[in-house]
A and B are shown apart, each in its own frame.
Chain A
Amino acid sequence: MSVTISVDGVSKRFGETQAVNNVSFDVEKGRIFGLLGPNGAGKTTTIRMINYITLQDEGKITINDLPVSPKTQKMIGYMPEERGLYKKMKVGEQLMYLAQLKGMNKTDAREKIKYWLNRFNAYDWHSKVVGELSKGMSQKIQFISTIVHNPEIYIFDEPFSGLDPINSELLKEIIIELKDQGNTILFSTHRMEQVEQMCDDICLFNNGKVVLTGNLRKIKKDFGKNTVLLEFQGDGSFLDELEDVRINNRSTNFAEIRILNGLNAQEILKKAMQNVEIHKFQLVEPSLNEIFISTVGEDNIKKQQEAELS
């Protein structure tokens, strides 16, 4: 298994703010890597450093063993969170310009643009000005602009934000397809269900630091089967009386209950039986959302305690 992107002890400071603090992780070739974390955790800054847009203060970032540089930029297809196109330029000209900036020659670029526009049933738009396209259409052009130069690494920052459901689905398909062709994909998001569905490995950011990183399956396994999925009929107020649990995803007849302090799951079942009619009781691994909340939550508490001590 070879490492495609290696981030090693990287820090970045903006004035008073330590945006990224001694961050390390590896992205392996041919896998989908998810970068998670709350807003302002340092994901975008890290992604920008990998893309050689922002330079790190400390640490080392390599792409295929090469330190980041204009050369490594060309190996990457990058779709930033803040994305857009020149509104007054024609679709074809625009894609040609962006492909050439990534080092493609005209002939190859023309061929690729044609291929992708046809693939998305968008060849008719070739001579249209981007400003005339609908939002969904220009999102498609945005995808093409990211992948047209045929790189082996793809980085998407919050790719699903602002996408309509059709394009969301389309992007997911593209990502899976790119992965199947042996490419490496890194994306950041705070949409957990997409990470659960797509990612092989994850890295969880909080306050500029990595709080958790590794293989998604393994992480979930390590957290243990300590979550109860409960479906019931009746008055769910007994749930409020449970101690040492955290309840996620609660609705009138459903609750996802995370057991915190070794409380026996059977106790919950007993309590539930006394109060409501149970339709389903299942002990599962925690959802990624739960892992996210508990890890970030603990990290924040720890930070608070440190602050109080010092």
Chain B
Amino acid sequence: MNWRQTYLVLKREYLTRVKSKGFIWATILVPVGFAVLIGVGIFIAAWDSEIDYTIGVFDESGLIIENLQEIDETRYQDYSDLPVDTLRAMVQREEITGYVLVNDSHITGEQNLELIYSGSGGLQLLTAVRSDFRESIRQERLRRENVSEDIRNIFESSVTIDSRRLSREGEETDDDTEFLSVVGMFMGLIIFGAIFGYGGYIMRGVIEEKTNRIIEVIASSVKPIELLTGKMAGVGAIAITQFGIWILAFTGLSAIAGPVASSIIGESASATQMPNGMEQANQELPAILDIPTLETSLIIYFVIFFFLGYLLFSSLFAAIGSAADSETDTQQLMLPISAPIFIAYIIMFHTMQSPDSTLSVVGSLIPFFSPILMITRIAITEVPFWQTSTAILLMLLSFVGTMWLSAKIYQVGILSYGKTATFKDLAKWIKQS
């Protein structure tokens, strides 16, 4: 290895990329895209709950409908004076979403209630209808039993649990698991995106050198391993630059925008009653703007897993680039790389819910899943040190393995033109070099 050559390659990779329009646009657009994504999510949540579903109620007892209308006046309509056949027809004509027959036997619990509906509204509607009826009928039962006002209030009261974390050292802190779950998911997502994004950079760079036919000129001055290392380091430096810009911009903006935004949200929240989704968003927004509560160790771990993840996968992306003849031919070869990343991505949503389950623990120790799963766990829960260190060690070992493998494929791949290699070819290349 000649480090001067590697440095020259690194410098070229870095300078040509950092000056390119693509880099400047990506640096601007990715955070904008992220913000739009979050905004759209919040908007959908808020907008969705405003859709009205009408449930016709044929109430023989005349007692339940009142309770229901107390819960949701627009959703539950009293159709007790219409014949049931008309209700059926109205559902068929989609004038109402569905109807429910209620009589005494339902209140006493002899018979189950039945919702006849068109099927629209989905799970959300079903859950809402179920709980609304459960509550209304429970109220009626309590009334019939002539229980006192006090007892009825007990049933209506909700119990909240505040949680506080007690660390091994005996320190007690406010529990912000919900906030940290979101942070964990974001960190996992960022690493997921970064592996594909920067890995793709490297892959396209390698393919470009092949299609430009400059690679053999370069290969007559630089060893393939020097070229590969230089490229990986160059794009790594691009990643540092880009994240540096984002973090600076983000801290700068939130320092200004944080107080402003929370004051606006605070006012409007007290002024109007917000629908469900908005309330939730309301809780998250200040949390996002409120970075200082992140522990330093979490940030350090994020950086470690970010780079180990990058190193682990980037050499493989380079190998695929070298084996492909054009960018469109990479799909099939990508599969063995994208599969583990996507599996990790899917497991991540489970890990968010239960970060200490066997699946989460085992998954976070598998090197190709670690970068995404371990950081999510570290953010949410107290991960034993042996697990983090094992994950880091295994990733380092795997990195040596992928680098070795990639270097072998790369040094043959860059000089073979004309057709995209198959997996059989790759195996041959590994054996032969």
Interface residue stretch chosen among B216-224, B337-345, B397-405: B216-224
Q: Is the CB of B212 within 8 A of A86?
A: yes
Closest B residue, CB atoms, query A102: B221
Contact of B415 among A48, A78, A87 (CB under 8 A): A48
Q: How far is the CB of A24 from chain B (nearest CB, A)?
A: 23
Closest B residue, CB atoms, query A131: B212
Contact of A83 among B5, B209, B213, B415 (CB under 8 A): B213
Does B12 make an interface contact (CB < 8 A)? yes
Contact of B217 among A52, A54, A83, A88 (CB under 8 A): A83
Q: Is the CB of B212 within 8 A of A51?
A: no
Closest B residue, CB atoms, query A90: B16
Q: How far is the CB of B9 from chain A (nearest CB, A)?
A: 8
Are A86 and B221 also in contact (CB < 8 A) when A70-B2, A97-B12 are? no
Chain A contact residues: over half helix, strand or loop, or mixed? loop
Residues on A with beta carbons closer than 8 Å to the beta carbon of B415: 48, 53-54
Q: Is the CB of B222 within 8 A of A101?
A: yes
Interface string of B12-24 (1 = CB under 8 A from A): 1000100010000
Q: Is the CB of A70 within 8 A of B212?
A: no
Interface band, chain B: 20 to 34
Interface string of A58-99 (1 = CB under 8 A from B): 000000000000100110101110111111110000000110
Contact of A84 among B2, B8, B213, B428 (CB under 8 A): B213
Q: How far is the CB of A113 from chain B (nearest CB, A)?
A: 16
Q: How far is the CB of B428 from chain A (nearest CB, A)?
A: 6
Q: Is the CB of A80 within 8 A of B428?
A: no
Residues on A with beta carbons closer than 8 Å to the beta carbon of B217: 78-80, 83-85, 98, 145-146
Interface size on A, residues (CB 8 A): 29
Q: How far is it, in angstroms, between the C-alpha of A69 and the C-alpha of B2 when the chains are bound?
A: 12
Interface string of A25-58 (1 = CB under 8 A from B): 0000000000000000000000010011110000
Does A294 make an interface contact (CB < 8 A)? no
Q: How far is it, in angstroms, between the C-alpha of A212 and the C-alpha of B212 when the chains are bound?
A: 35
Residues of A within 8 A of B (CB): 14-15, 48, 51-54, 70, 73-74, 76, 78-80, 82-89, 97-98, 100-102, 145-146
* Across the A-B interface, the 9 shortest Cβ-Cβ residue pairs: A84-B213, A101-B221, A80-B216, A78-B220, A84-B212, A82-B213, A84-B214, A53-B219, A51-B220
**What are 20 contact pairs spanning A and B, CB under 8 A?**
A15-B428, A15-B432, A48-B415, A53-B220, A70-B2, A73-B220, A76-B220, A80-B213, A80-B220, A82-B417, A84-B214, A85-B214, A86-B209, A87-B212, A89-B16, A97-B12, A98-B221, A100-B8, A101-B221, A101-B222
